Amino acid sequence: MTESDEPGLGTGGYTWPRGLRCVRCGARTEPRYDTEGCLDCRDRGIPSALLAEYDLSGLDGSSLRRRWGARREGMWSYRELLPIPPEHVVTMREGATPLVELPGEGTHRSERVLVKDERRNPTGSFKDRFYSTAVSWAAWYGHGTVALASSGNAGVSAAAYGALAGLECVVVATPDIGEVWRGLVELHGGRMLFASDAAERWEILRGRAEEQGWAVLTNTSAVPVSSLWVGIEGYKTMAYEIVEDLGTAPEAVTVPVSRGDGFAGLWAGFRELHELGVIDRLPRMIAAERYPSLSVALRDGLELPPEQEVDPDSLAVSIGNPQATVMSLRVLRESGGTAVVCSEEELRSATARLGASGIAAELSSAASLVAARRLRRNGTGDVVALLTSRASHQPAAFR
């Protein structure tokens, strides 16, 4: 039996989802291009994401685990649970990022803080997992241009993978995007378009995409839903790597969350490993947020996280959206997790703490350490703090 012949796998050793399921109402549709979410929930005023759902019943978790452990192909070592044929993968060996223990953060060996260091990806952020998968899909389906709205890291990653795939990349941003991010987008051949404010980005994306046939990979509405489900699948591989390194699931995972694509992808990965019998428990998922959108929704029992007032001078731009998603709220409730609001002062302190351990991280990334320290007060077990991007993209935060 070859790898592609194993029962339950799609032709060529990858798995296509059996459908897309709404994270709120549970309705399932056929897999399709989508960034608008469930139309029924949108009509009810609660825009909700459609995420991939797989039939894993024919897969053997132990066999997959042995196969994955023998490979050295970054995140595409886990190709059996990703929706792209291997021959269409656009990759720079993203993934395989290490877990780094932070000394002095835990009380004893069974209570550690471990950083999942996503700075090690090719363009310096965890967005590479999304754009390797999403750009692979766009090229596979014959699109000539990919487009997105971005405040920084996503634009750099999309431009890099677009260049590798031979696709044009259009990044819609506001004029205050950091010069380093803008320069890197243009270095990779990406084309910048500027909107007057964040809300106008969605109008430009929707209008130009329809006119010119762009494949839009990110959220396209002012009330946030999610980015393209195919890209979110790439984030699952962080969960696979964490479990491979630890041998089990951690007690909790803290994640800087804005709209929560990575948050949702991580949770999907852990759930799949649990369904496959690779792990016998699931971690608590902890959202580290700059503004209390998720916190208020949890406290007040809301279905839609409310929009919050933002600090226009905040440097935590990567987690700077004023409103969280139903998708992220669903992860918190399913996992028994919670949300932690991070102040600018706490983020700077956590960034300095990481720097003292030799880790130079973007200010927004340090939110995961703020949340991990809050959990430490309750004496939990191993906590994995997701470090999403490197400091060199945002020099103004360290002056």
Mind listing the pLDDT tens digit for each residue in 174-222? 998 889 999 999 999 999 999 988 888 888 998 888 889 999 999 888 8
Domain that holds residue 350: 99-122+229-398
Q: What is the DSSP string of 220-241?
A: -SSS---S-HHHHHHHHHHHHH
Total number of domains in the chain: 3
pLDDT at 233: 98
The reply to whether 70 and 159 lie within a common domain is no
Short-list 285, 264, 266, 289, CA closest to 340? 289
pLDDT at 397: 58
Q: Region 217-229: what's the mean pLDDT?
A: 91
pLDDT at 394: 56
The reply to whether 245 and 361 lie within a common domain is yes
The reply to whether 265 and 324 lie within a common domain is yes
- At residue 2 the predicted structure's pLDDT band, cuts being 50, 70 and 90, is very low
Contact 299, 286 (CB under 8 A): no
Q: Pick from 165, 184, 216: which residue ends a domain?
A: 216
Q: pLDDT tens for residues 342-362?
A: 999 999 999 999 999 999 999
Q: Pick from 173, 194, 216: which residue ends a domain?
A: 216
Short-list 20, 14, 46, 44, CA closest to 33? 20
Compute how many other C-beta atoms are within 10 angstroms of the C-beta atom of residue 96.
18
Q: Which of the pair, 248 or 219, is modelled with greater confidence?
A: 248
The reply to whether 212 and 313 lie within a common domain is no
| Residue 256 predicted with pLDDT over 50 | yes
Q: What is the mean pLDDT of the chain?
A: 91
Query: Residue 215 has which token pair?
Result: 């494949």
Contact 282, 251 (CB under 8 A): no
For residue 315, being part of any structural domain is answered with: yes
Q: What is the DSSP string of 168-184?
A: EEEEEE-TTS-HHHHHH
pLDDT at 7: 35
Q: Which of the pair, 13 or 35, is modelled with greater confidence?
A: 35
The reply to whether 392 and 264 lie within a common domain is yes
Query: Residue 225 has which token pair?
Result: 């839903």
Contacts of 135 (CB under 8 A, 6+ apart): 90, 146, 158, 161, 162, 164, 165, 167, 217
H-helix or E-strand spanning residue 81: none
- What is this structure's pTM? 0.93
| Residue 322 predicted with pLDDT over 70 | yes
Q: Pick from 216, 238, 260: which residue ends a domain?
A: 216
Q: What is the CA radius of gyration of the chain?
A: 20
Within 13 Å and on the Cβ side, how many CA atoms surround 258?
Answer: 18
The reply to whether 265 and 367 lie within a common domain is yes
- At residue 385 the predicted structure's pLDDT band, cuts being 50, 70 and 90, is very high
The reply to whether 234 and 349 lie within a common domain is yes
- At residue 8 the predicted structure's pLDDT band, cuts being 50, 70 and 90, is very low
The reply to whether 388 and 249 lie within a common domain is yes
The reply to whether 104 and 149 lie within a common domain is no
CATH of the domain at 169: 3.40.50.1100
| Residue 339 predicted with pLDDT over 70 | yes
The reply to whether 180 and 312 lie within a common domain is no
The reply to whether 268 and 347 lie within a common domain is yes
| Residue 378 predicted with pLDDT over 80 | no
| Residue 11 predicted with pLDDT over 70 | no
Instruction: Please classify residue 176 by burial: count the beta carbons closer than 10 Å to its beta carbon, then call 0-12 exposed, 13-18 middle and 19+ buried.
Output: exposed
* H helix intervals, the chain: 39-43, 61-69, 127-140, 153-165, 179-187, 198-212, 229-246, 261-275, 293-300, 326-335, 344-356, 367-376
SS3 148: strand
For residue 224, being part of any structural domain is answered with: no
pLDDT at 137: 97
